[in-house]
Amino acid sequence: MRPPVIAVHEIVAALPPLDDLEATHQRETLRWLERTDDVFRRAKPATPPRHLVSYVVPVTPDGDILLVDHVNAGLWLPPGGHVDPDEHPAATARREAREELGVAVEVWPVFLTATRTVGLDAGHTDVSIWWVAASDRGWAVPESDEFREARWWTPEEIAAAGETFDPHFRRFVRKLRRDLAPPGA
């Protein structure tokens, strides 16, 4: 494995899975990383047909989460994007926060998914590392061609919403709440 792929392998291996599905995604991703160095998207939308993505998920102390209404996917998603060749996935998350949200953030990895895409770019697999960024609701999100709007979702709004999110989003929220809960809560 080349050093950039080794770095991804280390991140993925260190994530404690939430459930059997994340454990399966983790095992499959580790095997994939061990078999190939061709893990970075080289051409839109799907070359290679499985490639790395970094989501950056801004979260307030109250558990509010910033999501964008993504044009291509037709879903409310965390901001983020494809990991450039040889780019560290944390650098991708920070870059995407600057490009899409206009903010500089520090991030830490929380969750891993492997998802067949939907919407305009359907049919390939995004292996996504979900990075959390501590935030407050004071961010003014600039306009973007990639999303229709951005908004903060409270935990109550997330619970009441229909199937408008990434298919793994609610699992991510469960893991986030579990990992950030005070001891004994």
Number of domains the chain is built from: 1
Q: Which residues pair with 113 in a beta bridge?
A: 128
Q: What is the structure's pLDDT at 2?
A: 92
- Decide: 96 and 54 in contact? Cβ < 8 Å: yes
How many other C-beta atoms lie within 10 A of the C-beta of residue 120? 11
180 part of a folded domain: no
The percentage of the chain sitting over the pLDDT mark of 90, rounded to a whole number, equals 62
**For residue 182, pLDDT beyond 60:** no
User: According to the model, what pLDDT value does residue 147 have?
Assistant: 81
pLDDT of residue 140: 67
pLDDT at 13: 98
Would the pLDDT of 181 be above 70? no
Query: Which residue range forms the structural domain that includes residue 7?
Result: 3-167
CATH no. for residue 15? 3.90.79.10
- Let me know if residue 183 belongs to a domain: no
Q: What is the mean pLDDT of residues 8-29?
A: 98
Cα torsion 64, 119, 56, 35 to 10°: value is 140
pLDDT of residue 148: 85
> 26 pLDDT band (50/70/90 cuts)?
very high
Cα(114)–Cα(86) distance, rounded to whole angstroms? 20
Q: Is residue 174 part of a domain?
A: no
How far apart are alpha carbons 106 and 77 in whole angstroms? 19
Partners of residue 50 on adjacent β-strands: 125
Q: How far apart are CA 24 and CA 18, in angstroms?
A: 11
In this model, does residue 1 exceed pLDDT 80? yes
Kindly state whether residue 181 falls inside one of the protein's structural domains.
no
Distance of CA 114 to the CA centre of its chain: 10
Is residue 185 situated within a structural domain? no
Q: Residue 184 has which token pair?
A: 């004994």
Does position 183 have pLDDT exceeding 80, yes or no? no
Phi/psi at 162 (5° precision) = -80, -155
**E strands, 49-97, where?**
50-59, 65-70, 75-77, 80-82
Strand 75-77 with 65-70, pairing:
antiparallel
Top-confidence residue, 123 or 82:
82
Model confidence at 105, in pLDDT bands (50, 70, 90)?
very high
Residue 176 belongs to a domain: no
User: What was the pLDDT predicted at 4?
Assistant: 94
**Residue 21 confidence class, pLDDT cut points 50, 70, 90:** very high
Question: 21 is written with which tokens?
Answer: 């599905």
Determine, yes or no, domain membership for 172: no
Q: Please check whether residue 175 lies inside any domain of the structure.
A: no
